């Protein structure tokens, strides 16, 4: 932060104490407590923090804290940061490649310290660092939808919360395939990442996962890093005997009416495995309703149900937000379903992704040439311009250029926007089930 503000910034990795075995060091413990305050969560029990520290180390997370050295006498824990921020790296399936993406998470600013430029300083300095380190894109999942658009992030994927009426069991119109077995939870922790990796490699929009996901799927972690004894799971095997999907779930208390099973995590390599896991869930006795909070927009389930009215969408929310740092590298990594040429311009208030590029797609791959300010447009090639946030939304194919044009994010003549749509259209909406 600026000199004279009383605020200082530290960037570090979570660490265990060197003097108290099994405990986090004081700086790390204070950072976790500040995050809990910002997200209205219970204060961490010290016995839980060490497990989270170890997981953060495996995730390769970097933590940032902004500290107020002029906190008043009775302020809560002056050693705890008044703002927090964290980053890590996983891969994003772009439809053409697995692109390393700079992930942002755990962003909080204490209400007593708002309107002081703290968030802007944290995010702009971090994005500049990520660009310098060679990242082509940044990504986050947002707890509030009004914050990140002004920093150039655009909604790139969405998800649904669905409820399925399971009374009398589910009848699917597709024939059974492979086999499903109740999972040995002790073994699922090591198997889940393998299945998810296969899902990641085949699913546009999917993002690699932090280690906590496998622990939660296996019932080793819940909201806190301690076992949840009511978690169950099942694994689907392909006809050749290869595990190609899993679902973890819990039965809600008996007083819940109708009797409800909640899906905690469902990962499938393909549609067949996804539907077979639903077939299993719909065959469980004493279950009248199944809820799933992270279903894809392009979900085959309602189309495979004999009675599609059993499937109800209860909520539709944004999921993955994407921010360009190197648009040319992003375009080269993307897979395209149509060929063509377009001049694409991006305006960026942070000047991280501003520029114009000639994009020529052939056989699903893009050749990208940067155009300088004085360069003439190639004859006969349509041109569009868009905001950085609009490019983030358009990139994976989750929204059309026509809609973004109507909303003001994309600018250009109708024929150019039509070419943009043809180039960026995808056969299925992107899907990201990873929250971070």
How large is the average pLDDT for residues 284-301? 98
User: Which of 318, 350, 372 is the C-terminal boundary of a domain?
Assistant: 318
How large is the average pLDDT for residues 391-419? 98
357, part of any domain: yes
Does the annotation flag 116 for ligand binding?
yes
Residue 4: pLDDT band (50, 70, 90) is: low
Does the annotation flag 261 for ligand binding?
no
Do 54 and 192 belong to one domain?
no
> What is the three-state SS of the chain?
CCCCCCEEEEEECCCECCCCCCCECHHHHHHHHHHHHHCCCCCCCHHHHHHHHHHHHHHCCEEEEEEECCCCCCCCCCCCCCEEEEEEEEEEECCCCEEEEEEEEEEEECHHHCCCCHHHHHHHHHHHHHHHCCCCEEEECCCCCCCHHHHCCEECCEEEEEEEECCCCCCECCCCCCEEEECCHHHHHHHHHHHHHHHHHHCCCCECCCCHHHHHHCCCCCCCCCCCCCEEEEEEECCCCCEEEEEEEEECCCCCCCCEEEEEEEEECCHHHHHHHHHHHCCCCCCCEEEEEEEECCCCHHHHECCHHHEEEEEEEECCEEEECCHHHHHHHCCCCCCEEEEEEEECCCCCCCEEEEEEEECCEEEEEEECCCCCCCCCCCEEEEEHHHHHHHCCCCCCHHHHHHCCCEECCHHHHHHHHHHHCCCCCCCCCCCC
148, part of any domain: no
pLDDT attached to residue 2: 56
152, part of any domain: no
Does the annotation flag 118 for ligand binding?
yes
58, part of any domain: yes
Do 312 and 332 belong to one domain?
no
How large is the average pLDDT for residues 21-33? 93
pLDDT attached to residue 22: 83
Do 277 and 347 belong to one domain?
no
393, part of any domain: no
Does the annotation flag 61 for ligand binding?
no
251, part of any domain: yes
Do 37 and 109 belong to one domain?
yes
Does the annotation flag 5 for ligand binding?
no
pLDDT in tens, 99-119: 999 999 999 999 999 999 999
Do 173 and 296 belong to one domain?
yes
What CATH number does residue 379 fall under?
A: 3.30.1050.10
Residue 238: pLDDT band (50, 70, 90) is: very high
pLDDT attached to residue 287: 98
Do 39 and 171 belong to one domain?
no
Q: Strand pairing of 365-371 and 321-324?
A: unpaired
Residue 17 CA from chain centroid, whole number: 31
Asked if residue 1 has pLDDT above 80, the reply is no
Asked if residue 3 has pLDDT above 90, the reply is no
Do 411 and 341 belong to one domain?
yes
Q: Which residues contact 288 (CB under 8 A, 6 or more apart)?
A: 165, 166, 167, 258, 259, 260
Length of the chain: 436
Does the annotation flag 108 for ligand binding?
yes
Do 65 and 209 belong to one domain?
no
Do 264 and 230 belong to one domain?
yes
Does the annotation flag 28 for ligand binding?
no
User: Which of 262, 286, 318 is the C-terminal boundary of a domain?
Assistant: 318
The rounded mean pLDDT for the chain is: 96
Residue 348, domain extent:
326-386+399-424
**Which residues are designated catalytic?**
148, 436
Asked if residue 419 has pLDDT above 70, the reply is yes
Do 174 and 307 belong to one domain?
yes
CA dihedral sign of residues 167, 173, 179, 180 = negative
144, part of any domain: no
Do 310 and 219 belong to one domain?
yes
Do 187 and 95 belong to one domain?
no
What CATH number does residue 49 fall under?
A: 3.40.630.30
Q: Are 384 and 411 in contact (CB under 8 A)?
A: yes
Whole-number Cα distances in Å, 343 to 89, 204, 360, 379, 420: 30, 24, 9, 11, 9
User: Which of 93, 119, 135 is the C-terminal boundary of a domain?
Assistant: 135
Domains held by the chain: number? 3
289, part of any domain: yes
How large is the average pLDDT for residues 389-407? 98
């Amino acid at each position: 932060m600026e000199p004279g503000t009383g605020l200082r910034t530290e960037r570090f990795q979570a660490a265990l104490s060197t003097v108290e075995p099994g405990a986090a060091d004081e700086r790390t413990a204070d950072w976790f407590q500040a995050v809990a305050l910002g997200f209205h969560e219970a204060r961490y029990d010290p016995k839980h923090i060490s497990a989270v520290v170890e997981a953060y180390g495996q995730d390769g997370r970097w933590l940032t804290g902004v500290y107020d050295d002029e906190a008043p006498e009775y302020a809560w824990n002056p050693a705890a940061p008044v703002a927090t921020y964290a980053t890590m790296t996983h891969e994003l399936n772009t439809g053409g490649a697995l692109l390393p993406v700079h992930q942002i998470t755990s962003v909080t600013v204490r209400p007593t310290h708002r309107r002081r430029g703290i968030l802007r300083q944290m995010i702009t300095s971090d994005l500049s660092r990520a660009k310098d380190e060679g990242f082509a894109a940044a990504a986050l999942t947002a707890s509030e939808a009004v914050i990140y658009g002004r920093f150039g992030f655009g909604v790139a994927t969405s998800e649904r919360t669905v409820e399925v009426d399971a009374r009398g069991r589910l009848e699917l119109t597709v024939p059974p395939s492979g086999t499903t077995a109740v999972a040995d939870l002790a073994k699922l922790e090591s198997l889940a990442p393998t299945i998810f990796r296969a899902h990641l490699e085949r699913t546009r929009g999917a993002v690699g996962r932090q280690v906590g996901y496998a622990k939660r799927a296996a019932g080793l972690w819940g909201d806190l890093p301690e076992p949840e004894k009511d978690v169950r799971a099942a694994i689907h095997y392909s006809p050749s005997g290869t595990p190609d999907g899993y679902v973890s779930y819990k039965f809600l208390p008996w007083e819940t009416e109708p009797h409800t099973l909640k899906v905690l995590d469902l990962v499938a390599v393909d549609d067949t495995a996804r539907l077979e896991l639903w077939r299993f869930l719909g065959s469980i006795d004493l279950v009248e309703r199944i809820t799933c909070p992270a279903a894809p927009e392009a979900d085959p389930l309602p189309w495979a149900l004999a009675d599609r009215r059993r499937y109800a969408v209860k909520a539709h929310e944004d999921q993955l937000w994407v921010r360009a740092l190197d648009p040319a590298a992003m375009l080269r990594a993307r897979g395209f379903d149509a060929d063509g040429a377009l001049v694409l311009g991006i305006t960026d208030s942070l000047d991280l992704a501003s520029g114009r590029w000639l994009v020529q797609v052939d056989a699903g791959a893009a050749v990208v040439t940067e155009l300088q300010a004085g360069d003439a447009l190639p004859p006969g090639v349509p041109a569009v311009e868009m905001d950085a946030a609009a490019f983030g939304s358009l990139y994976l194919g989750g929204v059309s250029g026509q809609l973004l044009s109507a909303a003001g994010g994309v600018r250009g003549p109708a024929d150019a926007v039509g070419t943009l749509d043809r180039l960026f259209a995808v056969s299925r909406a992107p899907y990201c089930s990873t929250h971070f």
